[in-house]
Amino acid sequence: MAHIKMTIQYDGTRYSGWQRQKKGRDIQTVIENAISKIFKKDIKIRGAGRTDAGVHALGQVASFKAELKMPPGVLKKVLNSLLPEDIRITGVDEIDDSFHPQYSVKRKSYIYYVCIDEDCQCFIKRYVWHYPRHLNLSVMEESLSLFKGTFDFTAFSGSTNVKNKIRTIYDFTMQMLSELCFLDMKIQGNFIKFRIEADGFLKYMVRNIVGCMIEIGRGKLTHEQIKKAIQKGERPKPLQTAPACGLFLEKIFY
C-alpha cells in the first residue's frame, strides 16, 4: 500500500471551499471522485487544512493510500485528465507512512492581493479585492510589526470550535506592485500584495488581518486599538473581513 502525497493548485471561485460538504461543490470531493475512478474503489484524502469558499491555492497538500501500479508522474497525468480545468495536481510523490498532511505541518503562507485603482481590469477581478479608496500606505507598513509574534488571535478569528487560538506569525510583509502578470499580459495598475507566514491560521484570520490593515490605511483604526484588540481578544471596530477572492494559500512547509 503506497502513501501518496499530492500538491494541488486550484481556482476557488466556483467552489464552496476545500473541505467535503453535504451541500455545495467542494474541491476535496471532486479530487476524491477522480482518484476513486482511477483505483476503482472509494478513496478518501486528507488535506493540510481548509480553505473557505472562493479562496484559491497555489500549493495545497493532501495525501491518500492506495495500491499504486503506475509511476507517480503517470498518476499525475491521469488525475489531471479527469479533473476540471480549475483544479490541477502539480506534484505527486510516494512518501513515508509517518507523514501526515495536517499534523506534520510546520508553517503555512498566504498571499492576498488588493487593487486600489479606480477601475480594475476584468481579467483579474476574481483574484483581487478591488478597493478604490485612498490609503495611507506608510502607516500601513508601520503596522505590520503589530501582528508579528505569538499571540491569542481570537480578535481576528471567525466563529470556530477551536479552543487554542494562540498562533505565531513569523513574517508579514506588504509590497506595492505596479503590474500583475496574467497569462502573457502585464496588467498595469496599483496593487498591494500582502504575504503572511505562520505556524497556523484560524478561520478568517488572514482575511480579518488584511481587512484591519485597510482600516488602518483609511485612518479608521490606530496602533493602540490593534494592540488592545489583541490583548482583550475583542474584534476591533470598524473591521471589514476582506473578501475571499484575493486570498491564495501559497505554500505548506513541512
Question: Annotated binding site for substrate, which residues?
Answer: 110
Distance from C-alpha of 9 to C-alpha of 151, rounded to nearest angstrom: 30
Among the listed residues 56, 9, 54, 52, the one whose alpha carbon sits nearest the alpha carbon of residue 31: 9
Distance from C-alpha of 213 to C-alpha of 140, rounded to nearest angstrom: 6
Query: If you ran DSSP here, which 8-state letter would residue 40 be given?
Result: T
Helix (H) or strand (E) holding 210: helix 205-218
Omega prior to 238 cis, within 30 of 0: yes
Query: Are 2 and 58 in contact, with CB atoms under 8 Å apart?
Result: no
* Residues 80, 82, 84, 85, CA torsion sign: positive
Give phi and psi for 69, each to the nearest 5: -115, 20
Find the catalytic residue in 26, 42, 52, 96. Answer: 52
- Respond yes or no: is residue 117 known to be catalytic: no
Q: How far apart are the first and last CA of the chain?
A: 23
What residues are annotated to the active site?
A: 52
